[in-house]
Amino acid sequence: MQIKQITIAAAAAVLCHHNANAFTVLAPHAGVATRPVLKLPSSTHSAFRSMTPLRMAADADQDNEIDRLRLMAAKLRAEASALEAEKAQSLADAAERAFRGFDKNNDGEISVQELKAGLEKNLKVELSDKRVAELMKEFDASGDGALQLDEFVGVDKFRNRLEALSREEKNLAVEAKKMAQKEAEVADLFQAKMEILNDGKPTNSDKVLSVLPYLLPLMDGLQYGRFLLGAEGAEANPFVAILAVLYTLYRAIPFSGFIAYLGLNFLGDNPKINRLIRYNMQQAIFIDIALFFPGLVAAVLGLVLGGNNVQLPEIVTQLSTDAIFVTLLAVLGYSTVSSLLGITPNKVPILSSNVDKRMPTVDMFDIDSEGNIIAKPREQENDENDKKD
């Protein structure tokens, strides 16, 4: 018993050299006679197992297997590299042979003409000079206008690039066709709008008719020409005689001014009437409205001065009314001459700019779901004008 315990203790001491806390000797409990028991940790058991001959042999076999697999992988990589090199060399040889076939004059480079001839021979297709020039420009890395051996990519790559260019051209042709169709539709729409909105060149009859609307402001403005037209000897003037006849007829019709105003305002919005006539209708209305303000100012001034027992000299009244009438005749004369020449009289200060805003344009019309041309709502038109501004 003692010899066995000494042997166990010696073994434990040896293990302690590797791990000071590798084992624990259980002491006997107080009052109980027991034998000392040696308790080894699990790591110690693993160490004992790893030191067995079988384990060592298995590790050796595993190392040999790993080395063998590594060797096989190295051989496979070497074979793959050799195959890649062989393939690259084969492609290089094929490219060089093709290059020599293209280079007819053996000058070491392929010109545009040689490239065209070689591709047409190999691809059995006729190529345009423009297409060959595009290929040359794309693959000519040096930019010298010719292909050297290191720039030659082979017939297959040329074929692939030609097919890609062909697809691109087809797509561009389709897009161009769609764009042309769209532009044709826009042109047709514009033409349809133009047929509804008569903005064309006025005819001779249109030019004459465009002058008639200015009779309204002329008749209403004759009150400002009473001094000039009533002067001594004025009745001998044929112009004055014609005005007298027209004014008599104008006043013979009840509410003639109001009726004329409504008629011009209604016809001025009719898009089928030539633009020059419609423009003059609108401008005649604005001129007639403008004639209201001098009379209003004269009336207010007369009330103010009359309340203060002040009376304007007759010469002041005469000169002011003559000035208004002369200005009216100048505006009507300019508008009449311009209209007879077929030119829109849009140079009247303040008035013409407001007339331009009222004139309809092709942008004010739209097409409904049934293809009919209709006028855009006023709100939509204003929004589009705001965006343009």
Partnered with residue 147 across adjacent β-strands are 110
Does the pLDDT of residue 369 top 70, yes or no? no
Q: Which structural domains are found in the chain, ordered by start?
A: 2-50 (no CATH), 57-153 (1.10.238.10), 201-360 (no CATH)
Does the pLDDT of residue 23 top 60, yes or no? no
pLDDT of res. 37: 47
Q: Which of 126, 146, 270 is nearest to 198 (CA)?
A: 270
Instruction: Please enumerate in sequence order all residues whose Cβ is within 8 A of that of 28, keeping only pairs 6 or more positions apart, or say none.
Output: 34, 35, 36
Helix (H/G/I), strand (E/B), else coil: 25 = strand
Report the pLDDT averaged over residues 351-371: 76
Average pLDDT value for the chain? 78
Alpha carbon distance 151, 164 (integer Å): 19
Lowest mean pLDDT among 171-175, 262-266, 280-284, 353-357: 171-175
Alpha carbon distance 255, 259 (integer Å): 6
Q: pLDDT confidence of 91, banded at 50, 70, 90? A: low
Q: Are 282 and 360 a contacting pair, CB within 8 Å?
A: no
Report the pLDDT averaged over residues 322-327: 93
Q: pLDDT confidence of 4, banded at 50, 70, 90? A: very low
Lowest mean pLDDT among 19-28, 244-253, 344-353: 19-28
Does the pLDDT of residue 60 top 90, yes or no? no
Helix (H/G/I), strand (E/B), else coil: 360 = coil
Lowest mean pLDDT among 57-71, 273-287, 330-344: 57-71
Alpha carbon distance 260, 274 (integer Å): 19
Alpha carbon distance 91, 147 (integer Å): 18
Helix (H/G/I), strand (E/B), else coil: 81 = helix
Helix (H/G/I), strand (E/B), else coil: 215 = helix
Q: pLDDT confidence of 383, banded at 50, 70, 90? A: low
Distance linking the first and last C-alpha atoms of the chain: 116
Lowest mean pLDDT among 113-122, 177-186, 222-231, 364-373: 364-373
pLDDT of res. 348: 94
pLDDT, tens only, 134-178: 888 888 888 888 888 778 777 778 788 878 877 887 888 888 888
Does the pLDDT of residue 262 top 80, yes or no? yes
Q: pLDDT confidence of 229, banded at 50, 70, 90? A: confident
pLDDT of res. 232: 75
pLDDT above 70: percentage of residues in the chain:
75
Report the pLDDT averaged over residues 258-283: 92
pLDDT of res. 15: 42
Report the pLDDT averaged over residues 44-71: 68
Q: Are 136 and 102 a contacting pair, CB within 8 Å?
A: no
Report the pLDDT averaged over residues 33-45: 48
Distances (CA, A) of 208 to 38, 204, 261, 276: 135, 6, 19, 10
Supply 385's token pair.
């004008």
Give the DSSP H/E element, type plus range, for residue 365: strand 365-367
Does the pLDDT of residue 25 top 50, yes or no? no
Does the pLDDT of residue 290 top 50, yes or no? yes
Alpha carbon distance 75, 69 (integer Å): 10
Q: pLDDT confidence of 374, banded at 50, 70, 90? A: low
Strand spans (E) along 40-98: none
